[in-house]
C-alpha cells in the first residue's frame, strides 16, 4: 500500500466506518498472538496491526521478530501502528511490569538532566533511542519502496 493509497483509504472511511485494530503487546516472540485471538472471536483480521518494542528482556531480544511481522502486515495491506513502552533512563534498558504497571518518578533535577543536552540522563536517553533506530531504518526502506 502506498502512502497515497493509505491516505485515500483512511479518508474514504471518514464519517462512514471505523478502522478496527489489535495491539499485540507481549510477547514479541509471537507478534500476532492477539491478532489471532481477534480473528478467532470475529472471523476477521483487524485492519490495523499494532506492535510494541517493549522492555522486558525477552521482548527486547525479539524486537526483530516484531519488526519482521510489522513489515509482513504492511505488505499484506494492514495499517501498522508501533509503540514503545520504555524503561525510564534512571534504570537499565530492561524492566518489568508490576501489578500497577511500570511506575517511576523523576525529580526536578533528574528532569533537568534529562532535557539538558549532554546531561547524564540525556545521554542515557539518546543511547536508548539509538537502540531503536536500526529498526526504524528497516521500516524506512520498506515503506519508502511503496510511497
51-103 per-position pLDDT tens digit: 999 999 999 999 999 999 999 999 888 899 999 999 999 999 998 877 776 67
- State mean pLDDT over 35-42: 95
Report the pLDDT value the prediction gives residue 102, as an integer from 0 to 100.
Answer: 64
* Residue that has been written with the C-alpha cell 491478532 in this structure: 35
Beta bridge partners of 81: 50
**Residue 41 CB coordination number (10 Å):** 8
* Whole-prediction pTM: 0.84
Share the mean pLDDT of the chain: 90
Instruction: Count the helix, strand and coil residues of the chain and give each as a percent rounded to the nearest 5.
Output: 50, 10, 40
> What three-state secondary structure class fits 109?
helix
Amino acid at each position: 500500500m502506498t502512502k497515497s493509497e493509505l491516505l485515500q483509504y483512511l479518508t474514504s472511511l471518514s464519517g462512514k466506518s471505523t478502522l478496527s485494530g489489535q495491539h499485540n503487546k507481549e510477547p514479541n516472540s509471537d507478534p500476532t498472538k492477539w491478532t489471532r485471538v481477534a480473528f478467532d472471536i470475529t472471523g476477521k483480521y483487524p485492519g490495523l496491526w499494532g506492535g510494541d518494542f517493549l522492555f522486558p528482556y525477552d521482548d527486547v531480544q525479539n524486537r526483530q521478530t516484531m519488526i519482521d511481522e510489522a513489515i509482513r502486515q504492511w505488505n499484506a495491506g494492514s495499517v501498522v501502528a508501533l509503540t514503545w513502552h520504555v524503561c525510564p533512563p534512571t534504570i537499565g534498558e530492561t524492566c518489568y511490569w508490576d501489578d500497577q504497571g511500570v511506575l517511576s518518578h523523576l525529580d526536578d533535577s533528574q528532569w533537568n538532566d534529562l532535557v539538558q543536552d549532554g546531561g547524564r540522563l540525556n545521554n542515557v536517553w539518546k543511547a536508548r533511542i539509538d537502540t531503536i533506530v536500526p529498526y526504524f531504518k528497516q521500516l524506512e526502506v520498506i515503506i519508502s519502496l511503496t510511497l
